[in-house]
Structure 1
Amino acid sequence: MEVTSLSEARIYVGTYAEYNDGSIKGKWFDLSDFSDKDEFYKACAEFHADEEDPEYMFQDWENIPDELIGESWLSENFFDIRDAMDDLSEDEQKAFLVWCNHGSHDLSTEDAHDLISSFRDHYNGQYKDEKDFAYEIIEELYDLPEFAKTYFDYEKFARDLFMGDYWFEDSFVFWAS
């Protein structure tokens, strides 16, 4: 699933009773309208007030990682993660989700602020490719004369960097440790 921003998360909420009666009656809820899970469920209850004890069915959702939602549940951690990600730029939010997936970080259980802090420690930026990152490393860390730079093998240097110290995915570079 392509997630653009948790601040744009939406859920189409129906109920199992409606679905079992052959209806997909429901409503799209923008999660940015709610400060926490209780407020969200209160709005769901108000919309489905015609049922005595509705069992909510999340029939569709957008911009929510699969580890934070299922057909009948929304993670307790969703709103904390969303709020913590507000301090990140749009590109950093995409990089954060890539980093979480790569490092097997559990968005549904880990502390949101600890995740963001750890992400910031590992994130190096966005680059066209590994070679582009290698160019920047050479410029920042090595005082090579212009003449030497014309003979430097940036591709091999990039290969060596990404064999152990860094990893690259979807244009983002991270520390491997």
Structure 2
Amino acid sequence: MKNLENAPKIYVGTYGQYNSGSLFGKWFDLTEYSDLKEFLQDCFEFHRNELDPELMFQDWENIPDFFISECSLHKEAFAYFEATSEMDEETAEAFEIYCKQINYWPSNGCELENQIESFWESYQGFFGGSGKDAIVEYAYQYIEDTGLLSGVPQSLERYFDYEAFAKDLFLDGYSEHEGHIFTDC
């Protein structure tokens, strides 16, 4: 993980302890584990003082909600963390949005490699940094990249309604989430 400050962590207690009025547990840094099995073994080892500990994830940090609940962690989480550790922060944020709100991974059944590939096909970039409307900013970029107005006299070009074009563009074919633009595949 590049940034240890943003490392995925889980505070693991047990239901037995919790039902006895105790929040006894430990923070586990998931970057120290290669897979779910290794992580769970360490959790059970930590709670070995209980006969049959039922693990309870009482708190977590830097773990997308689609991977975790109070009693489970998705097995694909570790592969996801490894993949996003190789991305810059902005791209990792966009990938999380894509997985959570657009392509619904891992519940869509895709392999991580295919999910990453479809993300790169869909992701157009971040356009929310200037404080302007990301959709309109993308429309300007789209028009420039496609040459849509090339050859149009400048005296007519200034009458082009970028806001209306952006609205139409995003009615069918594109979506915006927190400044990140995606094509609808």
Q: Same fold (TM over 0.5)?
A: yes
2:66 touches 2:100 (CA, 8 Å); kept in 1? no
User: Counterpart of 1:124 in structure 2: which amino acid?
Assistant: Q
Unaligned runs of 5+ in 1: none
Q: 2 CA distance for matches of 1:33 and 1:60?
A: 18
Counterpart for residue 91 of structure 2:
92
User: Counterpart of 1:134 in structure 2: which amino acid?
Assistant: A
Superposed CA deviations along residues 23-52 of structure 1, whole A, max 9, x for unmatched, are 010011111111111221122123212223
User: Counterpart of 1:172 in structure 2: which amino acid?
Assistant: H
2:47 is aligned with 1:48: yes
1:12 touches 1:27 (CA, 8 Å); kept in 2? yes
Structure 1 length normalisation: TM-score?
A: 0.88
Q: Secondary structure at the match of 1:70?
A: coil
Which range moves more in the overlay, 92-101 or 54-63?
A: 92-101
Deviation of residue 100 (structure 1)?
2.1
Q: 2 CA distance for matches of 1:35 and 1:167?
A: 34
Q: 2 CA distance for matches of 1:114 and 1:137?
A: 26
Deviation of residue 110 (structure 1)?
3.2
Superposed CA deviations along residues 73-107 of structure 1, whole A, max 9, x for unmatched, are 11111111222223322111111122223225232
1:9 touches 1:64 (CA, 8 Å); kept in 2? yes
User: Counterpart of 1:49 in structure 2: which amino acid?
Assistant: R
Counterpart for residue 119 of structure 1:
119
Question: What's the RMSD between the two structures over aligned residues?
Answer: 2.1
User: Counterpart of 1:17 in structure 2: which amino acid?
Assistant: G
Q: Secondary structure at the match of 2:160?
A: coil
1:68 touches 1:74 (CA, 8 Å); kept in 2? yes
2:32 is aligned with 1:33: yes
Q: 2 CA distance for matches of 1:169 and 1:19?
A: 38
Q: 2 CA distance for matches of 1:149 and 1:89?
A: 37
2:100 is aligned with 1:101: yes
Counterpart for residue 135 of structure 2:
130
2:32 is aligned with 1:16: no
Deviation of residue 57 (structure 1)?
0.8
User: Counterpart of 1:169 in structure 2: which amino acid?
Assistant: H
Identity of aligned residues (%): 41
